Amino acid sequence: MSVVTITTDFGTKDGYVGEVKGVLATRAPEAALVDVAHDVTPGDVRGAAWILGRIWSRFPVGTVHLAVVDPGVGGARTPVAVRVAERWFVGPDNGLLTFVSRAFSVEEARRIDLAIGGSPPSDTFHGRDVFAPAAAHLSAGMDPRRIGPEVEGGQIVELPLPRPARQGDSLHGHVLHVDHFGNLITNLPNDDLPPSPRVMISGVTVPTLSRSYGAVGRGELLASLGSGGTLEIAVRDGSASERLGVDRDEEVEVRPSPGASA
Amino acid sequence: MSVVTITTDFGTKDGYVGEVKGVLATRAPEAALVDVAHDVTPGDVRGAAWILGRIWSRFPVGTVHLAVVDPGVGGARTPVAVRVAERWFVGPDNGLLTFVSRAFSVEEARRIDLAIGGSPPSDTFHGRDVFAPAAAHLSAGMDPRRIGPEVEGGQIVELPLPRPARQGDSLHGHVLHVDHFGNLITNLPNDDLPPSPRVMISGVTVPTLSRSYGAVGRGELLASLGSGGTLEIAVRDGSASERLGVDRDEEVEVRPSPGASA
Amino acid sequence: MSVVTITTDFGTKDGYVGEVKGVLATRAPEAALVDVAHDVTPGDVRGAAWILGRIWSRFPVGTVHLAVVDPGVGGARTPVAVRVAERWFVGPDNGLLTFVSRAFSVEEARRIDLAIGGSPPSDTFHGRDVFAPAAAHLSAGMDPRRIGPEVEGGQIVELPLPRPARQGDSLHGHVLHVDHFGNLITNLPNDDLPPSPRVMISGVTVPTLSRSYGAVGRGELLASLGSGGTLEIAVRDGSASERLGVDRDEEVEVRPSPGASA
């Protein structure tokens, strides 16, 4: 059984997710439909890109990842199907694949024919009329060439995200994502941190890394080697975002602890 | 594999959706369970009816649509299983099928025997004790006559929704639904609109139809041919409901643009 | 097909639920993944325990219930796989099984080997790295002994919940859970109530039991035989929690109605 994952900003009070699933259930009846997240902030392409970056490689080869956060629906952005590491990604070419295509090179990228659903699509719901039919097509193992022509040079849109920088002893980075718990996920790779890092954010210094939340008291700040591969800042049993008044894109600096030998 | 879709106002912080799914997984182990929406406003039968109206025909023939928004649970309303266009709908007969039964005629309607679960049901959770067993029964391909007796004349409850009216050149309608994005979905069919419609709502005039959100600037109002078949009013990258201070049932008027030839 | 249910406090705006499902889809491709609830209040072990207590026995024998509400992740609490009534429960041993293990005795309890995922787990995401691999292992029918060693004496953590008490004619209990609708679910068993109970909570008396919400007017309080087996207090078409200003752990007292013969 093949898997189709679904990531949207459609919420769960309307029928939109249901319409997309109906198209998938009709056109790819053997696919297992897996909800990833539907409460992405409306129009937050970057938030959805972060999600895709976290989940895609956890699913087996052959999975189709359908992602529809599409504030430009019906406009100039290109609907695409992109193959990376033997998984397919289907959605608008607006940066949703930024993290995926940084991790692995694009093997194939096709512009989706707007008539793939069998009739002219609506102008405002390509999730149902264009992307779901394309995802079903691929999930059912049909010829990808029938999706549409190859994108020239395989070039897809990448969001201009901040990248970490090193200045002498210190690493400078940013908060990439604030999660449901209020944890701050940075772009500083765990592997690049000094052995005893001191983390500075928003005028506050976290003096050391903690292995787990239990290493600090309730309500206290901690920095940890994040499960996504980058440094995270959290508050035990609380929200680091609220506690520090910090949102996405806040700067973070890491230095070796004074006296620590690198 | 047959599909059972699930639409409720149970939310996703309690176990109620899980209890319903447990009954389905036990009694119809071959069914694929598909979440449609669980964040319908508590008791909002009309909101759920709108969802069913959007999704039902997207799913394949043979699908069972289980819908439980049931403020009168345990009271006088009838639990029903209704067949429309070769799909089954299972839930309380309180108007949930208003849009479905307007679109297609009812082929069969049965009052669900309250003992269908094998024991007397609770008074307050027919979703688990009455509707899920009935949905499982139908999904497993068992005889519909064992659900219970036919409803006399096949009559099911229809909500008294406003209908569009024409006065000379102008069309008068209403907002039927406000979605997650704050878009206003009206009851004015796309096909009935004049070629160059001017849309008036809440003292504001939208001078023309836009093909897509990209046709206007950020934060600007637009009217578009909605993906559900009726006129919609939206704000690009924003909420039309908030911007106009408009909720469900607000009046909408459409006239041909001055100077436009009909 | 075997079922794996998933209950978390991960929310539905991030990719965490997706990562867990990816691991399950990869390692137990035949399992049907069933979302129970992801909007448990962050860190609310007791709320998740209540959910598990409601749902577990509704699912068929052989089901694996994966539950991750884990404020102590990476710390001292033990990751466990516990077998009760031929279902497996996988998660942190922090009280999540309180209601399950009260209902049925534990048949087998194993401490999960942290390397079950094939490599050292992250410190902060055992849901993905420890619990999902263990759930997949069990769902795929593999030898439970390979999960890890048996927990001594089969002892697992139980939350110290209030228990009902009888004083003469009256029953004293507490609110165990406030649900999505604002209904107050108490710990007073339906079967222990007097024939004509008078329910007192927060200085208010509900004079009688109602069979259904329809038995009282809109906005009125009612007490009913709850679908989970214990007394519930609700407001028709409203929230009893808001109306009474009452939260979890509020005291409830039940007496026979004056003049009623017990």
The domain total for chain C is 2
- A129: number of CA atoms within 13 Å, CB side? 16
Cβ distance of C73 and A212 shorter than 8 Å: yes
pLDDT of A262 over the 60 cut: no
The answer to whether residues C17 and C129 belong to one domain is: yes
**C137-148 confidence digits (pLDDT tens):** 999 999 999 999
The answer to whether residues A245 and A169 belong to one domain is: yes
CATH of residue B218's domain is: 2.40.30.90
Phi, psi of A183, deg, nearest 5 = -70, 145
Instruction: Tell which of B154, B175, B209 closes a domain.
Output: B154
**CA of B108: how far to CAs of B133, B172, C97, in Å?**
18, 34, 44
C-alpha closest to that of C69 among C113, C127, C147: C127
Domain range enclosing C179: 165-256
Report if residue A261 sits inside a domain. no
Name the token pair of B102. 């307007």
Cβ distance of B124 and C227 shorter than 8 Å: yes
Q: What pairing do the DSSP bridges indicate for beta strands A32-37 and A3-8?
A: parallel
Instruction: Tell which of B154, B189, B206 closes a domain.
Output: B154
- In this complex, the residue of A16, A22, A29 whose CB is nearest that of residue B1 is A29
Beta bridge partners of B198: B255
Q: Return the C-alpha torsion angle A221, A225, A227, A231, nearest 10.
A: 80
The answer to whether residues C15 and C143 belong to one domain is: yes
**Alpha-carbon gap, residue B92 to B65, rounded angstroms:** 12
Within 8 A of B125 by CB-CB distance, chain C residues are 227
Match 């990531």 to its residue by tokens: A7
- In this complex, the residue of C13, C76, C124 whose CB is nearest that of residue A227 is C124
The answer to whether residues B9 and B133 belong to one domain is: yes
3-state secondary structure (DSSP) of residue B124? coil
State mean pLDDT over A125-133: 97
Cβ distance of A213 and C35 shorter than 8 Å: no
**What does chain C come to in residues?**
262
Would you state the pLDDT for residue A215?
83
Name the token pair of B63. 């699908």
The answer to whether residues A26 and A135 belong to one domain is: yes
Residue B182, sorted as left (phi over 0), alpha (psi -120 to 50) or beta, turns out to be left
Residue pair A97/A84 in contact by the 8 Å Cβ criterion? yes
Q: What pairing do the DSSP bridges indicate for beta strands A184-189 and A170-178?
A: antiparallel
Within 8 A of C13 by CB-CB distance, chain A residues are 37, 39-41, 47, 179-180
State mean pLDDT over B155-165: 94
**B119-151 confidence digits (pLDDT tens):** 999 989 999 999 999 999 999 999 999 999 999
Report if residue A262 sits inside a domain. no
pLDDT of C261 over the 70 cut: no
**B64-119 confidence digits (pLDDT tens):** 999 999 998 878 899 999 999 999 999 999 999 999 999 899 999 999 999 999 99
The answer to whether residues A33 and A129 belong to one domain is: yes
Within 8 A of A226 by CB-CB distance, chain C residues are 122, 124
Would you state the pLDDT for residue B1?
62
**Alpha-carbon gap, residue B250 to B239, rounded angstroms:** 15
Within 8 A of C123 by CB-CB distance, chain A residues are 211-212, 224-225, 227
C-alpha closest to that of B11 among C141, C181, A103, A207: C181
The answer to whether residues B149 and B170 belong to one domain is: no
**C25-67 confidence digits (pLDDT tens):** 999 999 999 999 999 999 999 999 999 999 999 999 999 999 9
Report if residue B262 sits inside a domain. no
**Alpha-carbon gap, residue A252 to A205, rounded angstroms:** 10
E strand or H helix at B23 = helix B16-27
Name the token pair of C152. 């001594």
Average pLDDT, chain C: 94
CATH of residue C47's domain is: 3.40.50.10790
Within 8 A of A13 by CB-CB distance, chain B residues are 37, 39-41, 47, 179-180
Which pLDDT band, with edges at 50, 70 and 90, does C262 fall under?
Answer: very low
Report if residue C262 sits inside a domain. no
Would you state the pLDDT for residue B208?
81
Would you state the pLDDT for residue C1?
62
State mean pLDDT over A169-189: 97
Would you state the pLDDT for residue C260?
57
**B187-227 confidence digits (pLDDT tens):** 999 999 998 899 999 999 998 898 888 788 889 999 999 99
**A153-176 confidence digits (pLDDT tens):** 889 999 999 999 999 999 999 999
Report if residue A218 sits inside a domain. yes
pLDDT of C82 over the 60 cut: yes
**C128-177 confidence digits (pLDDT tens):** 999 999 999 999 999 999 999 999 888 999 999 999 999 999 999 999 99
The answer to whether residues A12 and A129 belong to one domain is: yes
The answer to whether residues A86 and A134 belong to one domain is: yes
Chain B contact partners (≥3 CB pairs within 8 A): A, C
Cβ distance of B227 and A29 shorter than 8 Å: no
3-state secondary structure (DSSP) of residue B16? helix
The answer to whether residues A112 and A16 belong to one domain is: yes
pLDDT of B62 over the 80 cut: yes
Cβ distance of A226 and C122 shorter than 8 Å: yes
DSSP B38-60: S-SPTT-HHHHHHHHHHHGGGSP
The answer to whether residues B25 and B95 belong to one domain is: yes
For a pLDDT cut of 70, what percent of chain B falls above it? Answer: 98
Match 């009168």 to its residue by tokens: B72
Report if residue C113 sits inside a domain. yes
Report if residue C109 sits inside a domain. yes
**Alpha-carbon gap, residue A195 to A255, rounded angstroms:** 10
DSSP chain A: --EEEEEES--SSSSHHHHHHHHHHHH-TTPEEEEEES-SPTT-HHHHHHHHHHHGGGSPTT-EEEEE--TTTTSSSPEEEEEETTEEEEEESSSTTHHHHHHS-EEEEEEPPTTTTSSPPPSS-HIIIIIHHHHHHHHTT--GGGT-PBPGGG----------EEETTEEEEEEEEE-TT--EEEEEEGGGS-SSEEEEETTEEE-SB-SSGGGS-TT-EEEEE-TTSEEEEEETTB-HHHHHT--TT-EEEEEEPTT---
Would you state the pLDDT for residue B262?
45
Q: Is B85 on the interface with A (CB under 8 A)?
A: no
Would you state the pLDDT for residue A261?
53
**A48-99 confidence digits (pLDDT tens):** 999 999 999 999 999 999 999 999 887 889 999 999 999 999 999 999 999 9
pTM for the whole thing?
Answer: 0.96
d(CA B107, nearest CA chain C) in Å:
30
Instruction: Tell which of A154, A173, A202 closes a domain.
Output: A154
Which pLDDT band, with edges at 50, 70 and 90, does B259 fall under?
Answer: low
Which pLDDT band, with edges at 50, 70 and 90, does A25 fall under?
Answer: very high
Q: With a CB-CB cutoff of 8 Å, which residues 213-252 of chain B face chain C?
A: none
Report if residue C160 sits inside a domain. no
C-alpha closest to that of B175 among B91, B244, B258, B104: B244
Would you state the pLDDT for residue A152?
87
Smallest CA–CA distance from A231 into chain C, residue: C124
Match 């052989």 to its residue by tokens: C62
The answer to whether residues B141 and B170 belong to one domain is: no
b/e burial code for range B141-153 (CB count within 10 A of at least 16 → b) = eeebeebbeebee
